[in-house]
């Protein structure tokens, strides 16, 4: 056990972010030198706050089943090598989750019942960042090859996790990606200030050294058809994400200056890394309205700040959830509460219970939005009489989520069945309705989180390994129907 009295004597402490006025002038991560380095002076003491409660609910909160009390104890004892070993036992990419996960483990932490939860996510990122700094993260190539081949389509966290597990199990794995570089939303969705792309690049390098081959710039379903892929490989993993974007078809939608977040963010990410982008959508000197209150909206906000927007407003149709856990979402569930991300500290107004009736325009370009306040009556939104107003906007960004995977092309060609929500249907082994075609991540689960995508990638890899080899020793942290903790 870590410090026996740590949870009583040591208050919860987190790393300080760089001052807002400094960080909005660059694209680097908001912690000085990255979160791991910023946390190093305090993290041993913080890990000591783990009370070794006996039934660690944090394990159930984390879809990967991370061995949290074990590595808390090891960090407290400063046994960093063993801590890294235990961390990698359940998570291929802790530097992604340690930066980006909303940490459902912490809302399930037993200390959190009547005190501040252990800073689990910070311990996680400290272990892995220190390991990279100390050159302790090395390739782990297989000792022998099975002679079986696997194609993974999509290189987001689900595809990467599946590919790494299968390569290490001795299969010959090729990852197909339509973008010019691998990483999925980790690379072109999530901005630098949340996670620098160095983190993705060095994992790809590790994977290549282990034997995984990356074929980028290939839209599978186009030049290479689904049938060709199925013929060439012994198994296929679809990790194509849920990329169909939700739209807002109200009058004026056709005006210029109204874009999807995933049109705006990838361009900004490229430019932040020194690439040139023709006709870039920019927020500079504009009144920006972001429709949607989640992670994607916050990423648009932080990006607009750094591009020099005149004003930024984030609209959310749901009411403000407040800062306290609702009674209906008790410990150990992950409650819907008002959260302040690093981007929210930097600028912008958040407006709740508001709906867009119309986009207004001048000379074919958006100039404003007609808004109305709404309230929930018997499960539906009703307009509040007399609450209409017009706000100026020269750039509108949709961050309203995604409805599922693209069907046209690969999914249609393979003929895989979809579930009632339009996601690719799979059985307990993560196999779709087509023999030898597996599915992992948002493509099967619907829009979700990085930690779930990694857990799905690992689990699908176990399904593929058993299919190819007759049995498997690979871990499968979650069944396909696993869901977050609820009451
Ligand atoms: C802007 C944004 C910010 C987010 N921030 C967070 C966050 O902070 N924390 C968090 O936990 N989650 C976050 N999420 C959610 C998280 O990124 C996703 O849940 C996760 O990336 C899903 O992983 P995936 O591997 O299933 O799919 P993706 O990451 O979407 O990867 C799918 C890949 O498949 C490729 N592909 C699709 N079709 C084909 C084809 N036919 N041929 C070849 N390649 C193909 C795509 O180009 C893409 O690279 C965010 C999402 C967005 C959009
Ligand atoms: S992956 Fe997420 S839920 Fe799991 S330990 Fe890390 S921060 Fe917690």
Instruction: Using the mean position of ligand 1's atoms as its centre, give its distance from the Cα of residue 176 in Å.
Output: 14
Q: Is 297 in the pocket of ligand 1 (CB under 6 A)?
A: no
Report residue 338 CA to chain centroid gap. 19
80 Cα to the center of ligand 2, angstroms: 18
pLDDT reported for residue 394: 98
pLDDT in tens, the chain (487 residues): 778 899 999 999 999 999 999 999 999 999 999 999 999 999 999 999 999 898 999 999 999 999 999 999 999 999 999 999 999 999 999 999 999 999 999 999 999 999 999 999 999 999 999 999 999 999 999 999 999 999 999 999 999 999 999 999 999 999 999 999 999 999 999 999 999 999 999 999 999 999 999 999 999 999 899 999 999 999 999 999 999 999 999 999 999 999 999 999 999 999 999 999 999 999 999 999 999 988 999 999 999 999 999 999 999 999 999 999 999 999 999 999 999 999 999 999 999 999 999 999 999 999 999 999 999 999 899 999 999 999 999 999 999 999 999 999 999 999 999 999 999 999 999 999 999 999 999 999 999 999 999 999 999 999 999 999 999 999 999 999 999 987 7
Instruction: Answer whether 120's CB lies under 8 Å from 39's CB.
Output: no
Going by C-alpha positions, the residue among 314, 171, 183, 323 that lies closest to residue 234 is 171
C-beta 128 within 6 A of ligand 2: no
Report the atom number in ligand 2 closest to the C-alpha of 68: 5
Nearest residue by C-alpha to atom 7 in ligand 1? 100
pLDDT at position 2 is: 78
In short, whether 476's Cβ falls inside 6 Å of ligand 2 is: no
CA distance 468 to 169: 11
Non-local CB neighbours of 380 within 8 Å, separated by 6+ positions: none
Distances, alpha carbon 200 to alpha carbons 127, 132, 435, in Å? 17, 12, 32
CB of 125 closer than 6 angstroms to any ligand 2 atom:
no
Q: How many Cα atoms within 13 Å fall on the side-chain side of residue 306?
A: 26
What pLDDT, on a 0 to 100 scale, did the predictor assign at position 485?
Answer: 85
Closest atom of ligand 2 to CA, residue 104: 3
The per-residue pLDDT for 4 is 87
Ligand at minimal distance from the CA of 184 is 1
Is 299 touching ligand 1 by the criterion CB < 6 Å?
yes
**How distant, in Å, are the alpha carbons of 62, 75, 107, 115, 333 from that of 67?**
9, 12, 16, 21, 19
Q: In angstroms, what is the span from residue 141 Cα to ligand 2's centroid?
A: 26
Give CA–CA dist 273/62, Å, rounded: 32
Buried residues in 263-283 as b, exposed as e (16+ CB within 10 A) = ebbbbbbbbbeeeeeeeebbb
Place of tokens 């989750």: 97
Count CB-CB contacts under 10 A for residue 71: 29
- Ligand 2 center to 145 CA (angstroms): 32
Measured at the alpha carbon of residue 400, what is the angle toward residues 289 and 349, in degrees to the nearest 5?
A: 35
**Tokens linked to 135:** 């050159």
- 106 C-alpha to ligand 1 centroid (Å): 24
Per-state percent for the chain, helix, strand, coil, to nearest 5: 35, 15, 50
The pair of structure tokens assigned to 121 is 């996510």
Distances (CA, A) of 470 to 108, 144, 235, 464, 466: 37, 17, 13, 10, 5
Please name which of 315, 289, 259, 332 lies closest in space to residue 53, comparing C-alpha atoms: 332
The pLDDT score that the predictor gives to residue 293 is 86
Number of the ligand 2 atom closest to the C-alpha atom of 121: 7
The SS3 of residue 204 is helix
Is ligand 2 within 6 A of the CB of residue 450? no
CA-nearest of 62, 159, 170, 98 to 454 is: 159
177 lines ligand 1 (CB under 6 A): yes
Ligand 2 center to 68 CA (angstroms): 9
64 Cβ closer than 6 Å to some ligand 2 atom: yes
Counting atoms of ligand 2 from 1, which one is nearest the CA of 97? Answer: 1
Residue 204: predicted pLDDT: 98
Contact, 171 vs 151, CB < 8 A? no
101 pocket-lining for ligand 1 (C-beta < 6 Å): yes
Q: Which DSSP string do the residues of 435-482 spell out, in sequence order?
A: TTEEE-THHHH-S--HHHHHHHHHHHHHHHHHHHHSS--S---S-TT-
Q: Which atom of ligand 2 is nearest to the CA of 124?
A: 6
């Amino acid at each position: 056990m870590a410090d026996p009295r740590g949870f009583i004597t040591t208050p919860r402490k987190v790393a300080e972010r760089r001052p807002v006025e400094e960080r909005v002038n660059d694209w680097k991560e908001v912690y000085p030198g990255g979160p791991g380095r910023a946390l190093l002076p305090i993290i041993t003491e913080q890990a000591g706050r783990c009370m070794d409660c006996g039934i660690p609910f944090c394990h159930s909160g984390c879809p990967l089943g991370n061995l949290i009390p074990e590595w808390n104890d090891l960090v407290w004892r400063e046994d960093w090598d063993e801590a890294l070993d235990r961390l990698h036992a359940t998570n291929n990419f802790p530097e992604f989750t340690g930066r980006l996960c909303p940490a459902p483990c912490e809302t399930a932490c037993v200390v959190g019942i009547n005190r501040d939860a252990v800073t689990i996510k910070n311990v996680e990122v400290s272990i892995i960042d220190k390991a990279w700094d100390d050159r302790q993260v090395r390739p782990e190539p297989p000792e022998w090859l099975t002679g079986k081949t696997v194609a993974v389509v999509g290189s987001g966290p689900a595809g990467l996790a599946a590919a790494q597990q299968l390569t290490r199990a001795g299969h010959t794995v090729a990852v197909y990606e339509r973008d010019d570089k691998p990483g999925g939303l980790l690379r072109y969705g999530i901005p630098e200030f949340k996670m620098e792309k160095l983190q993705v690049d060095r994992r790809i390098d590790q994977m290549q050294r282990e034997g995984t081959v990356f074929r980028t710039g290939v839209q599978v379903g186009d030049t290479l058809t689904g049938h060709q892929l199925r013929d060439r490989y012994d198994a296929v993993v679809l990790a194509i994400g849920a990329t169909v974007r939700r739209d807002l078809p109200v009058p004026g939608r056709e005006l210029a200056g109204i874009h999807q977040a995933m049109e705006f963010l990838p361009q900004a990410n490229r430019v932040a890394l020194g690439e040139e982008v023709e006709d870039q959508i920019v927020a500079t000197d504009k009144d920006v309205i972001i429709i949607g209150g989640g992670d994607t909206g916050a990423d648009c906000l932080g990006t607009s700040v750094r591009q020099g927007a005149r004003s930024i407003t984030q609209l959310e149709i749901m009411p403000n959830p407040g800062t306290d856990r609702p009674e209906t979402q008790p410990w150990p569930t992950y409650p819907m509460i008002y959260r302040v991300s690093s981007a929210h500290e930097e600028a912008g107004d958040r407006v709740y219970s508001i709906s867009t009736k119309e986009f207004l325009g001048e000379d074919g370009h958006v100039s404003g939005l007609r808004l109305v306040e709404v309230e929930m009556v018997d499960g539906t939104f009703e307009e509040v009489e007399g609450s209409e107003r017009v706000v100026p906007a020269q750039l509108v960004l949709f961050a309203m989520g995604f409805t599922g995977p693209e069907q046209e092309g690969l999914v249609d060609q393979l003929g895989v069945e979809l579930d009632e929500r339009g996601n690719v249907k799979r059985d307990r082994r993560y196999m779709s309705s087509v023999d030898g075609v597996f599915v992992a991540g948002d493509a099967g689960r619907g829009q979700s989180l990085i930690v779930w995508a990694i857990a799905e990638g690992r689990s699908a890899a176990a399904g593929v390994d058993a299919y190819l080899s007759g049995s498997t020793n690979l871990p499968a942290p979650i069944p396909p129907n696993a869901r977050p903790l609820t009451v």
